[in-house]
């Protein structure tokens, strides 16, 4: 009897292990990509009974770290992979841009690249110096490990140590909420997240940059100067459930979800 019981127990544990590995996926990383990926995961689960996808935010840096150490099967990164990250496999899900945002009541509608740099270096401290009201500028920047910060620094040519910010944020939603509640604040966040907020009545506006109005369409046509890739990553060539989810997230089956969140879908067959 003990031998039979032991054999049954081993068989049961083996089956449970296979089901957990085959049916559950952990996806972590980019706060820009996380809301979209959560919606994609819901649809994937509905189409694949037994599948379970746990989507967690935390920034692109976390997505890369978790994927490398095995904490997550899939990572989310809102930029292209760097040269020292090419050991990872990347899969394009959508395109996005990064825009400066201010409160909708701020009279300033446009900033040049040079003005943005001076504001973030602390050289311009008052809105009246860029055509606004006589009020101090509240500078909002992203935390280390956030790809939006890296994209912003690449565009401006600034180093992290040069940025003089009064407030540091993580998620795009934090920046949007802060700016909508502070008439003197400025932040840089996802165009998709910003347009989604504006369409839902949030009191922010996207600033034109050197004469180009940020929009999903400007990202689609390649006109906007700060665009980026939203990608999923894996440690090795994906297989099993991870491969199925990535293929699903890269297909026309989720095109409507991507567009609903004001991102640009990749060209897929």
Nearest to 196 by CA among 62, 73, 99: 99
Contact 163, 71 (CB under 8 A): no
Segment 205-223 mean pLDDT:
93
Fold type of domain 2-95+229-260 = D-Maltodextrin-Binding Protein; domain 2 (3.40.190)
- Banded model confidence at residue 23, pLDDT cuts 50, 70, 90: low
Q: What is the architecture, at CATH level 2, of domain 97-221? A: 3-Layer(aba) Sandwich (3.40)
What pLDDT was estimated at residue 267? 73
What mean pLDDT do residues 226-238 have?
Answer: 95
Q: Which single residue is written with the structure tokens 């979209």?
A: 36
Give whole-number Cα distances, 29 to 52, 55, 106, 128, 150, in Å.
17, 9, 33, 38, 15
Report pLDDT digits (tens) over 91-132: 999 999 999 999 999 999 999 999 999 999 999 999 999 999
- Average pLDDT of the residues in 248-258: 96
Cβ neighbours for 175, distance < 8 A, ≥ 6 positions apart: 101, 140, 142, 169, 187, 188, 189
5 pLDDT band, cuts 50/70/90, is: very low
Q: What is the pLDDT of residue 268?
A: 52
pLDDT value, residue 43: 97
**Please, what's the b/e burial string for 129-166 (b: 16 or more CB within 10 A of its CB; e: otherwise)?**
ebebeeeebbbbbbeebbbbbbbbbebbebeeeebeee
45 pLDDT band, cuts 50/70/90, is very high
Which pLDDT band, with edges at 50, 70 and 90, does 9 fall under? very low
Q: Is pLDDT at 185 greater than 50 in this prediction?
A: yes
Q: How far apart are CA 137 and CA 120, in angstroms?
A: 10
Quote the mean pLDDT of the chain: 90
pTM of the model: 0.81
pLDDT digits over 130-170, tens only? Answer: 999 999 999 999 999 899 999 999 999 999 999 999 999 99
Confidence of residue 1 (pLDDT cuts 50, 70, 90): very low
Tell me which residue of 149, 153, 107, 159 sits closest to 128, measured CA to CA.
Answer: 107
**pLDDT above 50 for 183:** yes
Asked whether residue 15 carries a pLDDT value surpassing 80, the answer given is: no
pLDDT band at 193 (very low <50, low <70, confident <90, very high): very high
Residue range(s) occupied by CATH 3.40.190.10 in the chain: 2-95+229-260, 97-221
Residue owning tokens 């990535």:
246
């Amino acid at each position: 009897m003990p031998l039979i019981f032991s054999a049954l127990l081993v068989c049961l544990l083996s089956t449970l292990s296979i089901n957990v590995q085959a049916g559950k996926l952990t996806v972590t990383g980019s706060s820009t990509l996380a809301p979209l990926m959560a919606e994609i995961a819901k649809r994937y689960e509905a189409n694949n009974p037994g599948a379970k996808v746990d989507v967690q935010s935390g920034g692109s840096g976390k997505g890369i770290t978790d994927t490398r150490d095995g904490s997550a099967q899939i990572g989310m990164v809102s930029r292209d992979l760097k040269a020292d990250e090419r050991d990872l496999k990347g899969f394009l899900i959508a395109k996005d841009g990064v825009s400066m945002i201010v409160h909708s009541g701020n009279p300033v509608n446009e900033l040049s690249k040079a003005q943005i740099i001076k504001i973030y270096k602390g050289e311009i401290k008052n809105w009246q110096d860029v055509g606004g009201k006589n009020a101090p500028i509240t500078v909002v920047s992203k935390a280390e490990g956030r790809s939006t910060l890296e994209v912003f620094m690449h565009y401006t040519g600034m180093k992290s140590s040069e940025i003089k910010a009064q407030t540091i944020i993580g998620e795009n939603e934090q920046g949007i909420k802060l700016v909508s509640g502070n008439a003197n604040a400025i932040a840089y966040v996802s165009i998709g997240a910003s347009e989604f907020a504006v369409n839902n009545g949030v009191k922010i506006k996207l600033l034109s940059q050197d004469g180009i109005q940020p929009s999903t369409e400007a990202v689609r046509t390649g006109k906007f100067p700060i665009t980026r890739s939203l990608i999923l990553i894996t440690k090795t060539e994906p297989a099993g459930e991870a491969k199925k989810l990535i293929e699903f997230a890269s297909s026309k089956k989720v095109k409507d979800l991507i567009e609903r969140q004001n991102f640009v879908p990749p060209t897929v067959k």
